[in-house]
Amino acid sequence: MFGTRSRLLVVGAASLALASACTTPPPPGAPPPDLTEFHDQQVAFEPCGPFATTSTDEKLFANERLDCARVQVPLDYDDPDGARGEVALLRIPASGEKIGSLFVNPGGPGGSGMNFVATMASANPLWTDGLLGQRFDIIGFDPRGVGASSPQVDCFTDADNDDRAAGFDNALDPHGAASEEHAQEIMQRCAESAGGEDALTSIGTREVARDVDVLREVLGDEKLTFLGYSYGTELGGVYAEAFPEKVRALVLDGAVSPGQTPDEMTIGQAVAAQEGFGRLAEECAKAPDCPLGTDPALATERFQALTRPLVDQPAPTADGRGLGYNDAITAAATGMRAEALLPQLIDGLTELAEGRGDILLALRDQMTGRGPDGRYNGLMEDFLAIRCMDWPRRSPAEQTELNRRLREAAPFMDDGRPVEQSHHACEAWPKPPSRTGPWLAADVAGLPPTLTVSTTGDIATPYQAGVELADALGGGLLTVEGEQHGVSLVGSNACIDDTVLAYLVDLRTPPEGARCVL
């Protein structure tokens, strides 16, 4: 078990801690690696059952409409003759006249594309018999480090991830460690699970983008058609900058800002979270029994009064785990990610005011990838491993100062304790980050039209980030008025889905100023 702050991610995949840096180019004049052997692989699709890594996947992957395969990739693209990894992928075969493959990344980093696409296959007819499913083989892949792909990262036991005492002072920044020794222990456990330090440091966005290009070649697509949510917008942008001539269409929903540093992005998301809390307080205050009170101006204080006691005394839950402070903060962040979840969050706060934490604990589990059987899906470790190779590393002073600034930006998440010195969880990573500076050039040349979708009330990836990404890519922008993180092709809005489908199928971008309302 770890002590205080050992939990690596309090707010998970498509949530609040997203930012990065620029792809490191090869040396001038260096020839590209010869990847012919990888491009010429013959893919053997088979039933998906053996690819399941969680109890949830076991049920989803039993769908006979799905098939799965593995594709080999170089562990190190600078040494393609060396060790290899495998990318696992899941396919919904096109049910009509096929245009090609649609590659999907659900966010994170660390989200399972296989799980996401299998979920959509069972829940949304658009992905099977509708226009999307008719015209594309829909491909959900697990990036290296994630799910059924290898190398895999599994730094912590399920008991570690359940430990309510093992958390951070805030739920916005997952990159804190209690000490230099703790950071070293984190790295060692992650490296052992991945198969060594070289395997661990091969897990990063630059390598995943190159894996996507191998998948494109292997599946026979001349150009890439890609749908990315949240962190998936960054992955799509990194691919576009590296392979602009290989892009057919990019839909990027819930954008990561291309020009901000990781610290700027994290603070910006904290500000957006506090704004989202304000909207929650206003909605809740319409009812006389609102657990945050009927005066939104006092809601932060009411929330703190409900949650701060959990630091020392978790609220009881039916399963015996209890609801700790970080659990409650994670639950609040989860509930504010979609307007449809607000009633559940308010019910959870009402229950907490009555002395129990079951509803909020269920929201926390949803965000952190805990299944009904108590098994975690690895999202937390995957997030850490990818970002340790993507982001600059903070000094202890920088990490501690960021924690202080986050409390100022999102006071509803302030637990009332002094800000203690913290270390960066990536401090002991055995290789430097693979990227420096802004993660995307100010202007990406040679791209066809792209489509960015940005929602005005998104607390995880603020609206302005989408404006900036669309501008950097020189592409179209669809503004969505509402409060939700990830809105494209999820069945929530015909205006959004029709606009996105027109682009994916016919490559028609919306007119300037296009808007939809949730």
What pairs with residue 138 in β-bridges? 92, 102
Query: Does the annotation mark 230 as catalytic?
Result: yes
Which residue type sits at 419?
Answer: V
Return the structure tokens found at 88. Answer: 């696992």
Cα gap 259→468, rounded to integer Å: 8
Is 39 noted as a catalytic residue in this protein? no
Strand partners, 104: 140, 227
Residue 507: burial class (beta carbons within 10 Å; 0-12, 13-18, 19+): middle
Report whether 38 contacts 84 (CB < 8 A). Answer: no
Do 112 and 381 touch, CB atoms closer than 8 A? no
> Is the N-terminal amide bond of 27 cis, ω within 30° of 0?
no
> Does residue 256 contact residue 267 with C-beta atoms inside 8 Å?
no
Residue 490 CA to residue 296 CA, distance in Å, equals 31
* 458 included as an active-site residue: yes
- Closest C-alpha to 171, from 409, 451, 490, 441: 409
- The residues, any chain, with a CB within 8 Å of residue 441's CB and separated by 6 or more, are 22, 241, 472
Cβ count near 302 (within 10 Å): 20
Buried b (16+ CB within 10 A) or exposed e, 192-207: ebbbebbbbbbbbbbb
| Catalytic, out of 485, 488, 492, 497 | 485
DSSP class per residue in 12-23: -TTSS-----EE
* Annotated catalytic residue, options 458, 488, 492, 497: 458
Q: How far apart are CA 266 and CA 409, in angstroms?
A: 10
Task: Report the distance separating Cα 257 and Cα 212, nearest Å.
Answer: 21
Contact predicate 188/30, CB 8 Å: no
- Grouping H, G, I as helix, E, B as strand and the rest as coil, residue 447 is coil
Phi and psi of 323, rounded to 5°? -110, 110
Work out the burial of residue 75: count CB atoms within 10 Å of its CB; fewer than 13 is exposed, 13-18 middle, 19 or more buried.
Answer: buried
**6, 20, 202, 230: which is the annotated catalytic residue?**
230
The residues that are catalytic are 230, 458, 485
